[in-house]
Amino acid sequence: MTGAGFAAGDSEIGNVRVEIRSVNGRGLSLKMRLSSACNGFDAAIEERVKSRLARGSVLVVAERMDSASSLPDRQTLSRVAAEMRALADDLQLAQPTLVEVIQAASSGARGESSTSRPLPEKLAVLVDAAITQLIEHRRSEGRGTVAAITEQLDEFVRLTDVCATRAPFLIEEYRTRVLQRVQDFVAAHVPAPPPAVDLVREVALFADRVDVAEELQRLRAHTDEIRSLLHKGGEVGRRLEFLLQELLRETNTLGSKSPDTEVAHTVVAMKSCIATIKEQVANLE
């Protein structure tokens, strides 16, 4: 979501430079720094930005590059002059002078500085051009971010496959160890040991608790969906954040259920991949 867009040129309020910058943000947060010549355009600019951006902390700066005149624009002067001449005719008074028109127009502009005004056509073009350039920068950065995420996702899938390869042996090894310990305990402390079949059945049920097949299946489903979202594009940030939470939850369960040292070390590496991907996802819209 990091990027910047610039546009400059002539407009209805003079020679203007528009700059729009954005950094990462969970939602869309918009701040504006507008010169006095742009008073009243805040709402119109905000509406234009929100119509094209969904996430990020965005700063909009609009300033005149030429020396600001103390006079109102010609359109305002003409309008005020016409109104004053009409009023003078109605009241049968002398026509207003240029100085009086300027004073009246300046006074009205100061009084309406906080009033929302529609964005003039040329100024709107500059704002749109800056937004377009910002979006292009964000897309370019997004492509690099997606490549970095995909690299980490590939590593995560490789580590998942390591766990999947080891998983079939875990239950049998764990069952054998538990059964041996139970048999040793029964032989030493139980005068009338239960039938062997009962011991084997109970140990088998206990050993099934280390079965991680469901966790591995869900991890693969989540990674497949993440790939699909990255390929589809669009607004994927929030959905990816949710999937990463699920990915971490299943990885933690995988680690807690497995008594195997190799799997435990692999799970640590998987968590590291998730943390790296999470940092990268923060850059996506």
Q: Which residue has the tokens 């990268």?
A: 280
Between 165 and 186, the higher pLDDT residue: 165
At 71 the pLDDT is 65
pLDDT at 56 over 70: yes
Query: 193 or 217, which is more confident?
Result: 217
Residue 111 pLDDT > 50: no
Domain borders along the chain are 3-68+119-138, 74-110, 140-281
The number of C-alpha atoms within 13 Å of 166 and in the hemisphere containing its C-beta is 20
**Is the pLDDT assigned to residue 207 strictly greater than 70?**
no
Residue 47 has pLDDT above 90, yes or no: yes
pTM score > 0.75 for this model? no
Please say if the pLDDT value at position 101 is more than 80: yes
The residues that bridge with 6 in the sheet, in sequence order, are: 19
Residue with tokens 């990885």: 251
From 17-31, 51-65, 131-145, 177-191, the region with the lowest mean pLDDT: 177-191
Phi/psi at 168 (5° precision): -60, -30
DSSP secondary structure, 141-204, as one string: HHHHHHHHHHHHHHHHHHHHHHHHHHHHHHHHHHHHHHHHHHHHHHHHH-SSPPPHHHHHHHHH
Under the phi-then-psi rule, with left for phi > 0, alpha for psi from -120 to 50, and beta for the rest, what region is 94? Answer: beta
When mean pLDDT is compared over 25-39, 130-144, 180-194, the highest value belongs to 130-144
Question: What is the C-alpha to C-alpha distance for residues 64 and 60, in angstroms, rounded to an integer?
Answer: 14
Mean pLDDT value across residues 275-280? 92
* Calpha distance 179→49 (Å, rounded): 67
The pLDDT value given to residue 168? 78
How far is 222 from 240, CA to CA, in rounded Å? Answer: 10
The total number of residues shown for the chain amounts to: 285
Tokens of 224: 């497949």
Model confidence over 230-248: pLDDT tens digits?
A: 888 777 888 899 999 999 9
Going by pLDDT thresholds of 50, 70 and 90, the confidence category of residue 187 is low
Say if residues 225 and 155 touch (Cβ distance below 8 Å). Answer: no
Mean pLDDT of 118-134: 93
- The long-range contacts involving 50-53, CB below 8 angstroms and separated by at least 24 positions, are 52/131, 52/135, 53/22, 53/28, 53/131, 53/134, 53/135, 53/285
